[in-house]
């Protein structure tokens, strides 16, 4: 009981001290982010500084190039999707600036992609080039699906043929030779199960 009394006195003392501190300050505005306590005075404190965007940065041609390039932050997204959805990524804005710099040099879309492959290797592409061993990645899944489909059609057609053959129509149980005592014992066992 004594501990509870000390505990409630401690809370009361703590709250009283907090109210005393607040009494000396001007009142907080009711809107978030305004007033002395909630005002954000330095926007750069909220994250890394960002340059203003230029309308040409989001041109369809730039987007098409970035959709073919993989972001190297480990997210498995393309550069455009990563930079427009994951604002904590530091790699995609850098790659975006590289694309813009190459385009400003007058390089075509394919030349920009080739420059990325030269600098970062083939892992810079969202999809590997369809030549050499990479060609297997394009052909094997389709061949596997076609083979599985053909095997399924063959299995179904054989099953239908087996069911429609004249020997398959007689699916009655084969005749079993049993003595009258065995049949009577079987009948009693069946009667016990049904009860």
Q: How would DSSP label each residue in 46-102?
A: GSS--PPP-GGGG-HHHHHHHHHBB-TTSS--BHHHHHHH-TT-SHHHHHHHHHHHH
Give the pLDDT of residue 55: 73
pTM over 0.85, yes/no: no
Q: Residue 88, CB half-sphere, CA atoms under 13 Å: how many?
A: 2
Environment class of 78 (CB within 10 Å of its CB; exposed 0-12, middle 13-18, buried 19+): buried
pLDDT of residue 49: 61
Q: Is 40 left (phi over 0), alpha (psi -120 to 50) or beta?
A: beta
Give me the pLDDT at residue 60, please.
86
pLDDT at 143: 93
Query: Tens digit of pLDDT per residue, the chain (195 long)?
Result: 455 555 555 677 666 666 666 666 544 444 555 555 555 555 555 555 666 667 777 788 888 999 999 988 888 889 998 888 887 888 888 999 999 999 989 999 899 999 999 998 888 888 877 778 878 888 899 999 999 999 999 999 999 888 777 665 555 666 778 888 998 998 999 988 876
Interatomic CA distance for residues 131 and 100, integer angstroms: 28
Return the pLDDT at 151: 96
The token duo for 191 is 């009667």
- Per-residue pLDDT, 133: 80
Q: What gap in Å lies between CA 158 and CA 161, rounded to an integer?
A: 5
User: Can you give the length of the chain in residues?
Assistant: 195
Q: For Cα atoms 148, 152, 156, give the angle at the middle one, nearest 5 degrees.
A: 175
DSSP category for residue 169 = S
Q: Which pair of tokens denotes residue 63?
A: 């987007």
Spell out the residues 6+ positions from residue 112 whose beta carbon is closer than 8 angstroms to its own.
65, 99, 102, 103
């Amino acid at each position: 009981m004594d501990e509870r009394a000390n505990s409630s006195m401690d809370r009361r003392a703590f709250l009283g001290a907090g109210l005393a501190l607040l009494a000396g300050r001007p009142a907080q505005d009711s809107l978030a982010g305004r007033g002395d306590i909630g005002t954000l005075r330095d926007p750069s404190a909220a994250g890394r500084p960002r340059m203003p965007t230029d309308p040409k940065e989001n041109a369809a041609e730039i987007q098409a190039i970035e959709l073919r390039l993989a972001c190297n932050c480990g997210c498995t997204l393309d550069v455009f999707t990563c930079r427009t959805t994951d604002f904590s990524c530091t790699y995609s804005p850098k790659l975006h600036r590289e694309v813009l710099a190459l385009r400003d040099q007058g390089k075509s879309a394919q030349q920009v992609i080739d420059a990325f492959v030269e600098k970062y290797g083939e892992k810079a592409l969202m999809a590997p080039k369809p030549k050499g061993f990479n060609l297997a990645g394009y052909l094997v899944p389709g061949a596997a699906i076609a083979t599985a489909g053909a095997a399924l059609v063959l299995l179904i057609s054989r099953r239908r043929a087996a069911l429609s053959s004249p020997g398959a129509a007689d699916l009655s149980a084969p005749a079993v030779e049993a003595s009258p005592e065995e049949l009577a014992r079987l009948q009693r066992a069946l009667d016990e199960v049904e009860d």
